[in-house]
Amino acid sequence: MVNVSIKVNGEMRTASVPPETTLLRLLRDNFNLTGAKLGCDVGDCGACTVIVDGLPVNSCLMLANQVDGREVLTIEGLATTDKLHPLQKKFEEFGSLQCGFCGPGIIMSAKALLDENPAPTVMQIRDALGGNLCRCTGYAKMIEAIQAVANGSIEPVASKSA
């Protein structure tokens, strides 16, 4: 067993886990943070994306002991019970997701992008989402929602032209 102490969503958390435990399993099984999903388990789908020390990572590929002493942000850390994060709000307003399985990972990738580059181009957004797969919908509404957050827009693009 290894002891892991990390700051998750602003709160210090500690667990004792087997050395082969991934960050994803630590978050889901030990800390009951189930927003990051187990999709492919090989780092191809992005459903497990979280932010570690400001960078998006596939939590299924990172061992829990690799984050000891580091800071982790999950989808649960974005919103409060009273207020959604602007990305979550825009994804909802724009109808950017269907089943929602990929949503947490995509939103975390978008957040990491906007934290680094508050005014990304469409190509930069596409590049940032390149590691996230969605089987239900195209990416157009996701890109529009991210652009809206970056531009401070209040309405979906389709609503403006109607």
Choose among 122, 121, 6: nearest CA to 59.
6
Q: Which two tokens stand for residue 4?
A: 């892991």
Is residue 158 predicted with pLDDT exceeding 70? Answer: no
- 44 has a pLDDT exceeding 50: yes
Nearest to 90 by CA among 24, 157, 42: 157
Residue 160, pLDDT score: 41
Q: What is the mean pLDDT of residues 5-32?
A: 98
- Does the pTM surpass 0.95? The reply is no
Residue 162: its pLDDT value, please? 36
Can you give the pLDDT at residue 138? 79
Average predicted confidence (pLDDT) for the chain: 93
- At residue 100, the pLDDT reads 87
Alpha-carbon distance 135 to 39, whole Å?
12
Radius of gyration (C-alpha) of the chain in whole angstroms: 16
Mean pLDDT of 3-8: 98
Q: Identify whether the C-beta of residue 3 lies closer than 8 Å to the C-beta of residue 69.
A: no
Residue 142, pLDDT above cutoff 70:
yes
Q: Could you give the C-alpha distances from 12 to 9, 31, 34, 64, 108, in angstroms and in order? A: 8, 11, 18, 14, 20
Q: What integer pLDDT is reported at residue 21 of this predicted model?
A: 98
pLDDT of the residue at 159: 41
Q: Which domains does the chain have, with CATH numbers?
A: 2-77 (3.10.20.30), 86-156 (1.10.150.120)
The answer to whether residue 161 scores a pLDDT higher than 50 is no
How many Å apart are CA 24 and CA 115, to the nearest integer?
A: 22
- Report pLDDT for 155: 54
pLDDT tens digits along 79-114:
988 999 999 999 999 999 988 899 999 999 999 999
In this predicted structure, the answer to whether residue 18 has a pLDDT above a threshold of 80 is yes
